């Protein structure tokens, strides 16, 4: 039951984009088409999960052991950037089709603050997560990020066909829609 609550909470209640406002740049930048939103979602799920596992192990077995927790942010950034580059190299060699499908999304993940934010949240002492809990938290948070991204992309595709006043087209209506989507997700706050 604890894991189910963790999953529901990460996806719906504490959605990384709509409740914690992490990953806003790709949320607005990659959400014009559902197809690109799905590509970004897959890449984020993969990188966020692996990055959280690696940074969790680094935090518990290196930074905490040697008392250098103050190096956490810079170390996590380097780990995430290295993982993204490593994943990019491996995918290019092993699965060129998948590499082409992900395209520009892999390098964009390096600058996605949601990946760093989740890695830092997963090792917070007040959460006291195990490695399994951190992994489930990261994967669920990435799924929540993807859900918000795909929903928002679908809404933006429909808005292209809507009769919107000229002054509200583009960014203004996107911000209003994102706010309404965040309000809709607030309805889940009583669940967990």
Whether the CA torsion 189, 119, 144, 114 is positive or negative: it is: positive
How far is it, in rounded angstroms, from Cα 121 to Cα 59?
12
The pTM assigned to this predicted structure is 0.89
Query: What's the pLDDT at 192?
Result: 59
Furthest C-alpha separation in the chain: 60
Report the percent of the chain where pLDDT is more than 90: 55
How far is it, in rounded angstroms, from Cα 38 to Cα 140?
16
The pLDDT tens digits for 43-90 are: 889 889 999 999 999 999 999 999 999 999 999 999 999 988 888 888
């Amino acid at each position: 039951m604890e894991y189910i609550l963790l999953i529901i909470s990460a996806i719906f209640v504490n959605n990384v984009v709509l409740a914690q406002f992490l990953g806003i740049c790709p949320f607005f930048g990659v959400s014009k088409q559902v197809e690109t939103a799905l590509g970004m979602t897959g890449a984020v799920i993969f990188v966020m999960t692996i990055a959280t596992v690696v940074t969790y192990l680094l935090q518990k077995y290196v930074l905490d052991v040697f008392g250098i927790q103050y190096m956490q942010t810079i170390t996590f950034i380097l780990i995430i950037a290295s993982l993204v580059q490593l994943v990019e190299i491996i995918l290019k060699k092993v699965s060129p089709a998948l590499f082409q499908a992900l395209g520009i999304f892999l390098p964009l993940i390096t600058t996605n603050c949601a990946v760093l934010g989740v890695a830092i949240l997963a090792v917070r002492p007040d959460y006291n997560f195990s490695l399994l809990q951190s992994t489930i938290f990261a994967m669920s948070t990435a799924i929540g990020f993807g859900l918000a991204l795909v929903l928002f992309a679908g809404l933006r595709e429909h808005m292209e066909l809507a009769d919107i006043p000229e002054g509200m087209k583009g960014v203004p209506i996107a911000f209003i829609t994102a706010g309404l989507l965040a309000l809709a997700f607030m309805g889940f706050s009583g669940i967990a």
